A and B are shown apart, each in its own frame.
Chain A
Amino acid sequence: MATKFTPLFKTEARSDRIFTWGDAVALLVIAVLLYIGIRLAFGAPGVIEGPEITLDPRALPRYALLSIGRMTAAYFLSMIFTLIYGRLAAYNPRAEQVLMPLLDVLQSVPILSFLPVVLLSLSAILPINWAAELASVTLIFTSQAWNLTFAWYQSLTTIPKELREVSAIFRLNSWMRFKSLELPFAAISLVWNSMMSWAGGWFFLMAAEIFTVGRRDFRLPGLGAYLQEAANQNDLRAIFWGLAALILVIVALDQLVWRPLLAWSDRFKLEMVEGEEPPTSWFYDALHNSRLINALRENFISPISEWVDHWFLRHFQAEDAAKASVASRSWLLRFLGALFAVGLLYGLYRTTIMLLAVPMAQWTTIGLSVATTTLRVSVALLLALAWTIPVGVMIGGNHRLTVLFQPLIQITASVPATALFPVFLLFMLRLPGGLNLAAVFLMLMGTQWYLLFNIIAGAKAIPQDLKYTATLMQLSRWERWRTLTLPALFPYLITGAITASGGAWNASIVAEYVHFGGQPLQTIGIGSLIAQATAAGNYPLLLASTLSMILTVILINRLIWRRLYQIAEENYRME
């Protein structure tokens, strides 16, 4: 997993400018969507009873299935969204100009900040358990979809010219192109990003399952809620069972779903040489050699696929005709675009009015809260860097240590920080510093693994020749770090830090305001402010604070991370 690490938050700049018109439109869309959500939320019930969570370990299989169900539903939604959105952006230059900046903004927004708005608005129009289910799926979807979509879009736009020409010369129709060219070409990237998305999804699922503000209890029966309830009741035995179940589920899915997929997707690599270390999976090998599966494939899947191909072949012959229909639709597109623009402007007007309702004093609080959370995120990031750099370099630079520690770290890292949070609270609230310290700690939990994986990968990638040279030149320990290790690590550090800071911002929503032992606890911060506004039903404040957080994170991304990323790409990339 760590040999190839695809960043969750890609920041390749499509333009050198920090801010473009596309970004402005994208931000506007998000602001208006939030506004609509909050308008709906006016009708949200004031008191919401949460579900009964039983701590009986025998309930765990049911909870596990419920959690997996939400993840699966969200994942399939993400996949459908990805295939459609990415295709539109890749093949329609006009759509691309809006869709790609929107995606770029969306993926750098702290997704969890949407949760309160989504929950409130859905609970106003749906029965509460439906609303909470739908909100959790939406939340997981928003955490999974963007990088998948980027991966698909990038694959579609980088298909080699000759393979496209071959498809044209041998007259492949859209279906066959999708099946024989586009999907296989994107397969590896899609599987990798699916794994990343799935792993990231747990974090948000757990957050959604335990979300409670004021007298509104939005919890969902599932593994996350079980763990929280266990911590709440100080039931160590239940905590143990809950954690064991969670780890078991995660490891089982990894072994039975993702590893086999990864091993299978290796056949889609484009390189014309045999890989040195192809990914392997015992389960895949077992399936591959199973007679039942092979019989199934021969007698069932192949004929169906043949039939489907044939059907498409008969109904979608002409590929030149496709271009004509795009032209005829351009009027409709223009009309819809105009309608959209008018709606957006009206939405902007209403959003502004609502924002103007926020008194000056509250804006000051927002500013202060944003600053505090920024500080907290920075501290978490620095702490993470402080331990991951030396440890990562040590592990990555030594093959034996890598083999030894990698699986261990992977399992530890796979446990979503949000699931552990209630458990940590149990211990940390007794320490001086209380929630403030715990919040930093949760952010640390959410961020350090991205950094560690990237640093290990970076340390592994330092060429042996350069290490020998450094030794031959008898560089002192400090000189060696300065001239070899840190520069070589830099691109990996930045990639890891970008993802990590995204994670830390997300964590602030659930870390700065918690319900523990029936008591609401809070510390100053923008996440806390959003939760308080949700609890109090102060909708203008909710809108203002959510928007402020989104804007802050985007600005930090654009002004700091993107620049650092460019420097890393241009000057420190080993080729």
Chain B
Amino acid sequence: MSSPPNGKTLVQLKNIHQIYSSGARRFTAVENVNVTISEGEFVALLGPSGCGKSTLLRIITGLQKPSEGFVLYRGVPLKGVNPHASIVFQTFALFPWLTVLENVDLALKMKGAPPHLRTTRALDLLDRVGLDGFENAYPRELSGGMRQKVGFARAMAVEPELLCLDEPFSALDVLSAEALRGELLELWTSGNIPTRAILMVSHNIEEAVFMADRIIIMDKDPGRVISELAINLPHPRQRKSPAFQALVDQVYAMLAGQTQPEAIELGSAPGEPGRTRRLPIIHINDLAGLLEHLADLPENRADIYRLVEDLSVDPDTLLRLTEAAELLGFATIDKGDITLTPLGETFAEASILARKEIFATRIRRLPIFRWLLAMLRAAQNQRLDWDVVHTALELEFPSDEAERQLDAIIDWGRYAEILTYDDDDEALYLEPGPPVAA
């Protein structure tokens, strides 16, 4: 560790809530989060997209003010941007019109370093991340991995006590990402940098287990911390070791959850009391692919974490697919394992038309579809304006989420051939013809 974990508290989040209001409705993005980060710790913040982990990172660095609660930095309430923190961004966020050197130099300049020291210091930093020789290149001339190295060098330039990483490896190709992870760990464990703690936001479970001392697991709807897990494996960690794999499996189990009784699993219809279950945003073809893959496996079951590699999808997408399979009753999830139900097996082996029929019967059971179909049947000409449905959904979801949900509804409905959308007059229609047998 850069400094021995002396247990001195660096950052404390107290009862953090982040609430957005749209009209009269209020939506909770982050609910009652209490987190402590101590000196010497490498903490990973893990969760599905939309769980508010990036929001939390912005709150910790002072870029965003929480609606409720407060942030203590070394025991002092944080006001404005934290001068001791620095961020490495997923998209690198380099100034494209500045050279590599100028990008790092800008950070040093704002720190107040005199000009003659700046160049030496910047060159030294670039040297340390292995970018010597590229100082006069523009970011667009570099590969993704090298750009992110500039991102790291720039973040280090201000000698931050708290280094925040916002999914720093997810925009990189597999090899660069792996190389950069190793280099970062080396810098961190060698203690050659003044950084006291690292906070990394990630949706990559293996990556978190590989790098962090502690994983904070979040879930969505609303965004909240559901669990914490200490990783006590020594560095360098072996991904293939049983201990490592067991930890990965354990995290997947926490994230994928357990299949609940149907009433809880399906949620309630929009407008009714209770929480409306969001449709996971997926491609239906991917879902079919997942089910077919499971049907080929012995006992029709798999460890979810293994699927990431077998299907070469990213963990976030996979978790959305398993969630969809679970929601539609095609699979059950238990302790990080996914098992195909007989229905799921039937679906996997069915013809295209039969698949559509099965899919239609399944989504008719979802409260959000039941609600919409009832409205459509009652509507004149069995037609509803897109705007009308969107407004109705806005009672349950923030505006942009309502739009995504409506897009998903239309996508699923079109696949199942139970409703259709006409782009010209921007309206939803009940699919004509006799209803598919339920």
Contacts and interface: CB of A to CB of B under 8 A. Distances in A.
Interface of A: 160, 162-163, 165-166, 168-173, 176, 180-181, 184, 187, 267-274, 306, 309, 313, 319-320
Contact of A168 (B63, B79, B106, B115): B63
Interface string B200-231: 00000000000000000000000000000000
Contact of B95 (A181, A309, A320): A181
B414 to A, nearest CB: 20
B93 interface: yes
Contact of B93 (A165, A172, A273): A165
Contacts of B154: 170
B81 interface: yes
Contact of B139 (A169, A180, A272): A272
Interface residues of B, number: 32
Interface stretch (B83-91, B247-255, B322-330): B83-91
Contact of A162 (B83, B91, B98, B147): B91
B415 interface: no
Given A267-B97, A320-B80, 13 more contacts: A160-B93, A162-B90, A162-B91, A163-B95, A165-B87, A169-B81, A170-B107, A170-B154, A176-B110, A181-B95, A184-B97, A268-B97, A272-B96
Contact of A272 (B89, B106, B140): B140
B431 to A, nearest CB: 24
B98 A306 contact: no
Interface string B53-94: 000001001010000000000000001110101110111010
Contact of B106 (A170, A270, A274): A170
Contacts of A181: 95
Nearest to A171: B110
Interface of B: 58, 61, 63, 79-81, 83, 85-87, 89-91, 93, 95-98, 106-107, 109-112, 115, 138-141, 147, 154, 158
B140 A271 contact: yes
B87 A169 contact: yes
Nearest to B86: A169
Contacts, number: 72
Q: Interface centre among A165, A181, A269, A271, by most B CB within 10 Å?
A: A165
Contact of B89 (A165, A271, A274, A320): A165
B121 to A, nearest CB: 15
A537 B318 CA distance: 78
A309 B107 CA distance: 13
A173 to B, nearest CB: 8
A166 B139 contact: no
Q: Interface centre among A160, A162, A173, A271, by most B CB within 10 Å?
A: A162
Given A165-B63, A169-B63, A274-B140, A309 B109 contact: yes
Contact of A170 (B97, B98, B158): B158
Contacts of A165: 58, 63, 87, 89, 93
A171 B83 contact: yes
A161 to B, nearest CB: 9
16 contacts: A162-B90, A162-B91, A162-B93, A163-B95, A165-B63, A166-B89, A169-B63, A170-B110, A170-B158, A171-B111, A180-B98, A267-B138, A271-B96, A309-B109, A313-B109, A320-B80
B93 A163 contact: yes
Nearest to A323: B80
B110 A172 contact: yes
Nearest to A169: B87
Q: Interface centre among A168, A170, A171, A320, by most B CB within 10 Å?
A: A170
A340 B185 CA distance: 62
Contact of A306 (B61, B80, B86, B115): B115
A273 B140 contact: yes
A531 to B, nearest CB: 46
Contacts of A273: 140
Contacts of A176: 106, 109-110
A267 B138 CA distance: 9
Contact of A180 (B79, B95, B140, B147): B95
A313 B112 CA distance: 8
A308 to B, nearest CB: 12
A320 B79 contact: yes
A158 to B, nearest CB: 14
Contacts of B85: 169
Given A180-B106, A273-B140, A166 B97 contact: no
Contacts of B79: 320
A318 to B, nearest CB: 8
A171 B107 CA distance: 8
Contacts of B95: 163, 166, 180-181, 184
Contacts of A274: 140-141
A59 to B, nearest CB: 44
A149 to B, nearest CB: 22
Given A162-B91, A272-B140, A168 B81 contact: yes
Nearest to A176: B110
A256 to B, nearest CB: 23
A184 B102 CA distance: 14
Nearest to B95: A180
A314 to B, nearest CB: 9
B86 A269 contact: no
Nearest to B99: A267
B71 to A, nearest CB: 15
A162 B89 CA distance: 7
Nearest to B83: A171
A558 B339 CA distance: 59
